[in-house]
Amino acid sequence: MANILIMGCGYIGTHLGLLLAKNGHAVWGAKRKVDSLPFGIKPVKVDVMNLTDTDLPDKLDYVFYMVSPDAYSDEAYRIAYEHGIRNLLFALEKAHQKPKRIIMVSSTGVYGQQRGEWVDECSKTEPMDFAGFRVLMGEETFLDSTFNVSIVRLAGIYGPGRENLIQRVKTAQAKCSVRSPCTNRIHLADAVGLLSHIMNLTDPENIYLGVDSEPCSRNDVIQWIAKQVGVKVEWSDNPDKSSQRPTSNKKCQNTRILASGYHFIYPSFKEGYGALIRGRFQKQPEPEAELESSQ
């Protein structure tokens, strides 16, 4: 049994914590508001801006850092990926704790490729905005520390509770466009699964891309979902403006995580969104494996 701290125990962290607790580990979830944490995750009420050594559980074996910024602003990202990370490292050092590994949840936003290029863990990182820049600085702070660190660059996460694209397609808010960049994603179950997998590796790499096996154009995803839910695809001359963030155009490769032995539950958007659509629109029971993976 390992002692595990999840800093920023939100959407992904809660599902990860429940999985780890189910596997027999002692799990602490750190966040400012702990009332929402489910049974099985021990609460640590703290703000990363004020984190000290006295806030840390004793004898930590693993630490996951997945603190989310409060807003899409440079200051919010600076707090999460500069102050928060430095406070955690200082607290661990002051407490004389040396966990086996720190695992940081990062983002494919550290890449800024625009021409549909394939990218992997060794590709050039040139963020398009302040958010990607701050996340990249956070990665470097961890990697420059004295701790063993693995960075997991996750793509857009969807799954139970994050089904907005299905609703946008169904209500004709998500439209196809003549300018349709290549997009990358990962189902919640696989985001949680590969984080647990990396924690259990004997000698993991420093950086992994957390994406499924089928990058594709945004139009492809919209058209496929529209066909499944029985609606007509609408087209627009203007790109979708549902996000504040700049849109890159790249294909992320998951070769490294596959080579480590991880097997995807939902290897493409078709399996992942298909499971969500069947549950939401057709009211069909999910296969047992899918139910287990979403818990």
- pLDDT on residue 242: 54
- pLDDT on residue 292: 30
Residue 214: both structure tokens together: 């089928």
Q: pLDDT tier at 244 (50, 70, 90 boundaries)?
A: low
- pLDDT on residue 179: 84
Q: Which CATH architecture has domain 3-162+186-215+249-271?
A: 3-Layer(aba) Sandwich (3.40)
Strands 185-187 and 156-158 come out as parallel
Q: What's the predicted TM-score (pTM) here?
A: 0.91
- pLDDT on residue 203: 96
- Dihedral sign (CA 64, 70, 74, 75): negative
pLDDT in tens, 64-117: 999 999 999 999 999 999 999 999 999 999 999 999 999 999 999 999 999 999
Look up residue 80 and give its DSSP letter: I
- pLDDT on residue 18: 98
Average pLDDT (186-205) is 98
- pLDDT on residue 238: 66
Above 70 in pLDDT, residue 246?
A: no
Instruction: List alpha helices for 95-178, DSSP H.
Output: 130-143, 164-170
- pLDDT on residue 279: 83
Place of tokens 């609460």: 43
Higher pLDDT, 241 or 167: 167
Average pLDDT (249-272) is 97
pLDDT in tens, 169-192: 999 999 999 888 999 999 999 999
Mean pLDDT (the chain) is 92
Residue 163: both structure tokens together: 């089904």
What are the residues whose beta carbons fall under 8 Å from the beta carbon of 113, sequence distance 6 or more? 119, 123, 126, 248, 249, 250
CA distance readout (Å), 274 to 72, 178, 210, 226, 291:
30, 25, 20, 11, 13
CA distance readout (Å), 146 to 51, 93, 142, 182:
19, 9, 8, 37
